[in-house]
Structure 1
Amino acid sequence: MAERAQKIWGYRLLLVLMVSVVAFVLLLPLGSRAGGIPGPDVVLLIVFAWIIMRPDYVPLLLAAATFLAADFLFMRPIGLWAALSLIGAEFLRSRRLQLRDASFLFEWLLVVTVIAVMTLVNALVLSMVAVEQPSLGLTLIRLIFTAATYPIVVILAGRAFGVKKLSSADLDRIGQRL
């Protein structure tokens, strides 16, 4: 049991480290120019992929802290995208049993749909309070890049870091209900 707890905490630490490295790289001034093409929301994708594959590795408070820190670092309106991301993450966590046996295509479409709804709600809330926001074209490009990057994040999580979905046999072996 202690070995399992150490493994879980190790993966939680790895998640924080991965998100920190991604945030650091995104904040580096590597040939960035104003009005450039927006990249994918990799922090969101990492947390979503890990929540779908191993929800026990990403507790609610860790996800909330990750999303809130990303809001501060990327100078977004504090709390709005974090709240939407947390709602999306918990929605995906609540669908973990259906996603465990579903095809990757279904999982991918569900994640993209959740991110699209989050993006729409974000734009609506920002427009209601008259906050300046990126153009619709840039928002759609970011959504497309984020959707296209999700399979890469899932492959890296599984191959490079060993984060895999739990099967029913794994759940029986560790004596846990997911």
Structure 2
Amino acid sequence: MAETSALRGWRGQLTFVLLALAIITLRLLPLNTVPPGPVVPPDLLLLITLVFVTRRPDYLPVTTIAVIFLLGDLLFQNPPGLEVALVIVLTEAMRRRAARLREAPFWIEWMTVTFGIVLLVFARRAVFALLSVPQPGLSAHLSQMVMTILCYPIAVGIMYFGFGLRRPAAGEVNAMGQRL
């Protein structure tokens, strides 16, 4: 039983890493050379990270999140470490709430994630403003924030039906024998 749980954990982590690398690669490809219009696409990397952390926090250690987001910061020429720090704070807060969200209805999970995304966006803008770093207009950040929030249920559905990512069942244990 423990071997299948450990194998499931490794498979879940590998799934996240492959999806994250695919999203990073797609963002780097010059698929559209026209600047985005009034609607900015959602932050897919943040979306899948939040889905994994709220649904299966045992699949995604903090080091994996840090490495993926640091790679993203370096490749997208963002200030190295800022997004990493903000996302780690958010994901660890979500990880602490994952057990309570397991029995909650989906809309409570969605509102919790929404609150976290809003805090992340405004914390990023506050740090940029404090350091006098040029940043896109508020409307671009708000548009991306709204799109990310609205796409969360779609991401949960895709991860559930496409990759089998579900909430742990009552009484389920991890490889170490600890209850999830």
TM-score between both structures, scaled by the size of structure 2: 0.92
Equivalence for 1:28: 29
For residues 177 and 4 of structure 1, what CA distance do their matches in structure 2 show?
12
What's 2:49 paired with? 47
Unpaired segments ≥5 residues, structure 2: none
Tell me how far 1:175 sits from its aligned partner.
4.3
**1:105: which partner in 2?**
107
Counterpart in the other structure of 1:4: 5
The corresponding residue for 1:126 is 128
Per mean C-alpha deviation after superposition, the further-off stretch among 58-67 and 36-45 is: 36-45
- Which of residues 71, 93, 96 is equivalent to 2:95? 93
Give the structure, 1 or 2, with the largest relative contact order (CA under 8 Å, sep 6 or more).
2
- Asked whether the 8 Å contact 1:50–1:57 carries over to 2, the reply is yes
Deviation at 1:35, TM superposition (A): 5.1
* Number of the residue aligned with 2:160: 158
Q: Which runs of 5+ in 1 are unaligned?
A: none
* 1:105-133 CA distance string (max 9 Å, x none): 11111111101111111101101111000
Q: 2:78, 2:8 → 1: CA distance?
A: 33
TM-score, normalising length: structure 1: 0.93
CA distance in 2, matches of 1:101, 1:5: 23
Partner of 1:74: 76
CA distance in 2, matches of 1:86, 1:112: 16
**1:23 positional shift:** 1.2
Is residue 67–residue 86 contact of structure 1 (8 Å, CA) maintained in 2?
no
- Identical-residue share of aligned pairs (%): 33
Letter matched to residue 103 of structure 1: P
Q: For 1:24, give the aligned amino acid.
A: T
Q: Deviations over 1:27-64 (max 9, x none)?
A: 11112323544211110110111111111100111111
